[in-house]
Amino acid sequence: MRHELTAFLKDESGATAVEYGLILALIFLGAMTSFTYAGASISNLWNYTSNNIDGVVND
């Protein structure tokens, strides 16, 4: 019984999959944060452009 417990505690199979999962989660979180900030900036740019075009067309 003690041998099985020691073998179980030393077993590292699956650790790589967990590490890859954590790395993927961090990349996903970073991408979503970047898209959120970029989306707001792009929306502001489109609104600014639209307002300027409306101003030129209506003058």
Q: What is the mean pLDDT of the chain?
A: 89
Q: What pLDDT is recorded for position 51?
A: 93
pTM given for the model: 0.55
Residue ranges covered by each domain of the chain: 1-58
DSSP assignment of 1-59: -HHHHHHHHH--TTHHHHHHHHHHHHHHHHHHHHHHHHHHHHHHHHHHHHHHHHHHHH-
Render pLDDT for 46-57 as a digit per residue (tens, 0 to 9). 999 999 998 888
Tens of pLDDT along the chain (59 residues) come to 888 888 877 887 788 889 999 999 999 999 999 998 898 889 999 999 999 998 888 86
Q: What pLDDT is recorded for position 46?
A: 94
